[in-house]
């Protein structure tokens, strides 16, 4: 049996030594052959060179390097595209997904499950704010998106080869892997674990990125926000109509038409705000449809080590490989020279 481990990495130079110390011994213990597929998601620190060093020594360590940062979900997609294993595990590189759990996950896989998900019983080293927002997110997703979305399950998951083949067929731009898995309805079991704090380095998910991921999750699986808008719109319009009837009645019969300037302003703001929010929301969905219509690749590979990626349609050949000579990349040399000698290349007035 071949076990593939897919590890998206983005600026993880601090944590990689700990990962390389912890992961291989666990895999040796499990006793099956394995491959580690690292997806370098456009890191700007020395992640790349650390990975290349390990890959040079061991051809079971494979590296796919993106041309820029495409995000963790795209990195997972690339990993699943290139994994050859009978079982494929997706895990974070920061040891928050404990490698020791792999043994249990493989046992469950051998029992015949297509997907082995992991559920966090506790979360160490995370702020109360993050825990609270995560809880709110999971319960909303369960109600709005899919009943089968288990709470507190991240992307740390084992897939059978069949499950991977099914997932590979989904090429949508705005991806939320957990949602896809729930949607597919594969035979799934859950292993529970205590999630430790990051072994080193910092989280790559600042709050705005989490909000973006949450919104992708909601909007790519549910039209509920649009329906909420519609209901709110109907409610506000009914209220407006009722108020108009009352205003006409008051003007004709009670003759108490006090200058209702302030209430008018309030209603104007309320209704205009609601309209703009609804239009913005629809605009966001339309934007997402536009993204899908373009059918762009989900990621672009820069290069790869120990993986044959020549067949990958979305691959760029570096114009400026680090060891290029002046004859091979004259424009790069000119650019470097211009940076060093700005005076020489300044535009004449």
Residues of this chain that bind ligand UDP (CB under 6 A): 8-10, 12, 41, 69, 71-72, 75, 92-94, 96, 203-205
Beta bridge partners of 116: 158, 189
Rounded to a whole number of angstroms, the minimum distance from the CB of residue 144 to ligand UDP is: 21
Task: Strand 301-305: give its sheet, edge to edge.
Answer: 188-195, 115-123, 153-160, 87-90, 2-9, 33-40, 61-66, 301-305
Pick between residue 75 and residue 153 the one whose CB is nearest to ligand UDP. 75
The entry of ligand UDP, Mg ion, none that residue 69 binds, CB within 5 to 8 Å by partner kind: ligand UDP
Distance CA 292, CA 294 (A): 5
Phi, psi dihedrals of residue 90, rounded to the nearest 5°: -100, 125
Pick between residue 161 and residue 192 the one whose CB is nearest to ligand UDP. 192
Distance CA 137, CA 156 (A): 18
Pick between residue 16 and residue 167 the one whose CB is nearest to ligand UDP. 16
Tokens of 211: 């909000």
Phi, psi dihedrals of residue 273, rounded to the nearest 5°: -60, -45
Residue 96 in the binding site for Mg ion (CB under 5 A): yes
Beta bridge partners of 159: 88, 115
Half-sphere exposure of 276 (CA within 13 A, CB side): 6
Residue with tokens 């297509």: 114
Distance CA 4, CA 1 (A): 10
Rounded to a whole number of angstroms, the minimum distance from the CB of residue 131 to ligand UDP is: 12
Pick between residue 49 and residue 203 the one whose CB is nearest to ligand UDP. 203
Rounded to a whole number of angstroms, the minimum distance from the CB of residue 7 to Mg ion is: 12
Rounded to a whole number of angstroms, the minimum distance from the CB of residue 37 to Mg ion is: 18
Pick between residue 10 and residue 159 the one whose CB is nearest to ligand UDP. 10
Rounded to a whole number of angstroms, the minimum distance from the CB of residue 74 to ligand UDP is: 8
Residue from 12, 40, 81, 94 in contact with Mg ion (CB under 5 A): 94
Residue 12 in the binding site for Mg ion (CB under 5 A): no
The entry of Mg ion, ligand UDP, none that residue 72 binds, CB within 5 to 8 Å by partner kind: ligand UDP
Rg of the chain over Cα atoms, rounded to whole angstroms, equals: 26
DSSP letter assigned to residue 241: H
Pick between residue 42 and residue 85 the one whose CB is nearest to ligand UDP. 42
Rounded to a whole number of angstroms, the minimum distance from the CB of residue 49 to ligand UDP is: 16
Binding site for Mg ion (CB under 5 A): 92, 94, 96
């Amino acid at each position: 049996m071949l076990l593939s481990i897919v590890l998206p990495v983005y600026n993880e130079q601090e944590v990689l030594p700990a990962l390389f110390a912890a992961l291989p011994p666990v895999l040796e213990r499990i006793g099956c052959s394995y491959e580690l597929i690292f997806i370098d998601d456009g890191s700007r620190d020395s992640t790349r060179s650390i990975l290349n060093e390990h890959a040079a020594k061991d051809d079971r360590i494979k590296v796919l390097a993106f041309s820029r940062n495409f995000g963790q979900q795209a990195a997972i997609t690339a990993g699943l595209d290139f994994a050859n294993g009978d079982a494929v595990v997706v895990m974070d590189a920061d040891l928050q997904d404990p490698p020791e759990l792999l043994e249990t996950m493989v046992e469950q896989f051998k029992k015949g499950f297509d997907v082995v998900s992991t559920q966090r019983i506790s979360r160490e080293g995370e702020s109360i704010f993050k825990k609270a927002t995560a809880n709110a997110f999971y319960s909303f997703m369960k109600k709005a998106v899919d009943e089968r979305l288990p709470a507190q399950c991240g992307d740390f998951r084992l897939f059978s080869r069949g499950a991977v083949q099914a997932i590979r067929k989904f090429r949508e731009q705005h991806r939320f892997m957990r949602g896809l898995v729930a949607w597919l309805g594969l035979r799934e079991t859950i292993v529970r674990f205590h999630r430790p704090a990051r072994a080193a380095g910092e989280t790559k998910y600042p709050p705005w990125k989490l909000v973006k991921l949450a919104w992708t999750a909601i909007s790519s699986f549910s039209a509920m926000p649009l329906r909420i808008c519609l209901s709110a719109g109907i409610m506000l319009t009914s209220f407006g109509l009722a108020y108009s009837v009352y205003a006409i009645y008051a003007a004709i019969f009670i003759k108490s038409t006090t200058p209702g300037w302030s209430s008018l302003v309030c209603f104007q703001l309320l209704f205009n705000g609601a309209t703009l929010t609804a239009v913005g929301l629809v605009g966001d969905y339309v934007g997402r449809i536009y993204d899908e219509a373009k059918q762009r690749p989900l990621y672009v590979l820069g290069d790869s080590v120990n993986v044959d990626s020549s067949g990958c349609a979305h691959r760029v050949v570096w114009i400026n490989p680090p060891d290029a000579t002046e004859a091979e990349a004259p424009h790069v040399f000119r650019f470097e020279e211009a940076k060093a000698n700005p005076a020489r290349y300044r535009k004449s007035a």
